[in-house]
Structure 1
Amino acid sequence: MVLTGTALWLVGTVAFALSGNLHIEFWTCVAGVTLGVIGYGVFRWQRSAARRGSRGAWQGLSGLDD
């Protein structure tokens, strides 16, 4: 879901950039892409910590081991 949302923000960013509309809509899409990438990074970091068995890692991520 995170990757899908980030991809949609990226599509919006490209569309606004190609149209030459570099106003608030463009920068909103850039912020969406940035936050999506950061969020996915945190998700991957926590998932790898859970797999290692780190004490501070989120629990119950076994269903996401694709």
Structure 2
Amino acid sequence: MKLAPIFDPDARRPSPKPVQVDLRRIFTVGTAAWALAMVVCFILLLCGLDSMKPLIVSAAGVAVGLLLLVWEHFNRWDYRRLAQ
């Protein structure tokens, strides 16, 4: 019966282990993409196009990416502990 796990918690299958991912690589790629966008917006601004708002957004993306890299550095042991 497919409703058995709802009524009887002992009938549930065990939960899968969390997947271990390298957040440092993910955050680095994302931050690099925002940095590339920031450089492009800065070049467009130097060429005379109005790209100040996209420049601010991409700079905020770089700042958030750097903060996430700091967060990942200090919390790395936690998700490695869960993967064991």
Q: Calculate the TM-score normalised by the size of structure 2.
A: 0.56
Structure 1 position 16 matched with structure 2 position 41: yes
User: Aligned partners of 2:73 and 2:39: how far apart in 1?
Assistant: 26
Aligned counterpart for 1:31 among listed residues 31, 45, 60:
60
Q: Relative contact order: is structure 1 or structure 2 higher (C-alpha 8 Å, sep ≥ 6)?
A: 2
The residue type paired with residue 7 of structure 1 is: A
Measure how far apart 1:39 and its partner are: 0.5
State the superposition RMSD in angstroms. 2.1
**Percent of aligned positions that are identical:** 19
* Unmatched runs of 5 consecutive residues or more in structure 2: 1-25
Aligned length: 54
Runs of 4+ in structure 1 displaced over 3 angstroms?
A: none
User: Aligned partners of 1:15 and 1:23: how far apart in 2?
Assistant: 11
Q: Which has the larger radius of gyration?
A: 2
* Unmatched runs of 5 consecutive residues or more in structure 1: 51-57
